[in-house]
Amino acid sequence: MEALDLARWQFGITTVYHFLFVPLTIGLSLLVAVMQTFSVFAKDPDRKDAWTRMTKFFGSLLVLNFAIGIATGIVQEFQFGLNWSEYARYVGDVFGAPLALEGLVAFFLESVFLGLWIFGWNKLPERIHLLTIWAVALGTTCSAYFIVAANSFMQHPVGATLNPETGRAELDSLWAVLTNVTTLAAFPHVIAGAWLVAAAFVTGIASWHMVKHHRAADDAGRDTEEGSRQHELARGLYRPTVRFGVLAMVLAAIALVVSGDQQAQIMFKQQPMKMASAEALCETETGASFSILTVGGPDAFAQDCSSITHLIEVPYVTSFLATHTFDATLQGVDELNAQAQEEFGSTVTDIHGNQVTAEYRPNLFVTYWSFRLMMGLAAFSGVVALWALWATRKGRTTGSRAFQWFTVLAIPMPFFANSAGWVFTEMGRQPWVVHPNPDDPTVRLMTLQGVSSHPAGWVVASLIAFTLVYGVLAVVWFLLIRRTALQGAPLPHRDPGTGQLDTPVLSFDY
């Protein structure tokens, strides 16, 4: 395996791994901020206490996830200089600007105000303290925006021109980079995906504890003191959180559908090859169908369109996704590949000066199935939302074991959907690391031209090291999150003399 393939594998593994934590941090920071807002402005003492406990419980999970996300994110930027030095040389002046803004703006907000939030309980005024977690939520959202802006330049370069003397892209307008139409379409979709991840996380954990306390109440007897206490925990502490998580899931799903539709329209104009590859549409077709199941020969889902058979199709849907018309003509992969070879050449010079055949088709197997996994796994959350709404209707709680386990098993589905979406976005852009802008294709770079020239053995060593270290971190993260989640929120205790509830403490497991 060559250094190019190894470098791509390393960047793919570390990026997908890192992005397991990113959407949870982005979404959960907002949901925790909303929970604390409910607590601050609640007039009923019991409701105020319940939302305070939920805030600190899910806040502790947020901090654990945030720590791992920071540690794995630092590695990403080093890879540009190590494995992708030619890419960094070519677009570093442009690509580095939004990354620098992320550090100056987003990291500042996140680190400073997260510290104030953690250590400011009962020290800062209540509403000032509330603003600190909202600042954290703003920081995570800003971080997402700057990263999406950097990635969108790779998808649709704007605000830069190619210097023919240096052979580098130079920044003309930072504003153009930050307001790239691709950024404005992708950012809401990324944020909505993060909300869905966090909402499923909150719903699954709260549902688990609601069922646990419901069953404990049944076992003890509702007419006993312990049974009444357990029932109140299920109904008063966890049921509102389940309903809150479901509401967040519904809002996130609506935002995902609307923003995803906008992205499809832009993708069809900017990267028609990605749209065709998502459908494995090999031949140009009018009124293109959307295939639910497609099969092919041994090489059919690499970059070769031979022997592909669409078994189950929904007529006209792909044309509608691309243009909002059912009779639109979509170019096939083969035709688009021929056009690209005519425009950009049938051969390309790699970093070693060798002439290699230019292939402008992405891996069809990966783009086809990652696109469907993205949608299918995200839709799984809809089943959870409907079941949770039914189980908690009219003030009820449930002791269903099936519901308890289903909501927990549903937690990772939006995580995987997000990862599949990014795999589709990046693999569908291949063979470009900077895809040419259809209006001005001068700024462009193929992936094989962006890799560093060091030996493959070096990449093998770092790939093995990162994979092992990240594997250990994944186990540590899972064990800490699982232990904290199973402990649940600190349970309320009333003083026998005064009848007042105790104050929950923000705590962490190490």
Tens digits of residue pLDDT in 8-57: 888 888 888 888 888 999 999 999 999 999 999 988 888 888 888 899 99
- Give the position of tokens 């469907």: 372
The pLDDT value recorded for residue 331 is: 86
**The pair of three-digit structure tokens given for residue 431, joined into one six-digit string:** 């063979």
The separation between CA 276 and the C-alpha centre of its own chain, rounded to angstroms, equals 23
Segment (H or E) for 309: strand 309-314
pLDDT of residue 185: 92
What mean pLDDT value characterizes the chain? 85
pLDDT, residue 134, reads 95
Please report the pLDDT score of residue 175 as a whole number: 93
Residues recorded for the chain:
510
> Residue 69, SS3?
helix
Rounded Cα–Cα distance for residues 236 and 240 (Å)? 7
Q: What is the CA radius of gyration of the chain?
A: 25
Q: What is the C-alpha separation between 452 and 99, in angstroms, rounded?
A: 21
Q: What is the pLDDT of residues 134-189, one digit of tens each?
A: 999 999 999 999 999 999 999 999 989 999 888 898 999 999 999 999 999 999 99
pLDDT, tens only, 415-447: 999 999 989 999 988 899 999 999 888 988 998
* Residue 506, pLDDT above cutoff 70: no
Instruction: Decide: pTM greater than 0.85.
Output: yes
Query: What band does 58 get if pLDDT is binned at 50, 70 and 90?
Result: very high
For residue 308, which amino acid is it?
I
> Which letter does DSSP use for residue 330 in this model?
E
CA 203/CA 19 separation, integer angstroms = 21
Query: Is the torsion defined by CA of 310, 312, 314, 320 positive or negative?
Result: negative
Q: What is the pLDDT of residues 338-388, one digit of tens each?
A: 888 888 888 888 877 788 888 888 888 888 888 888 888 888 888 888 988
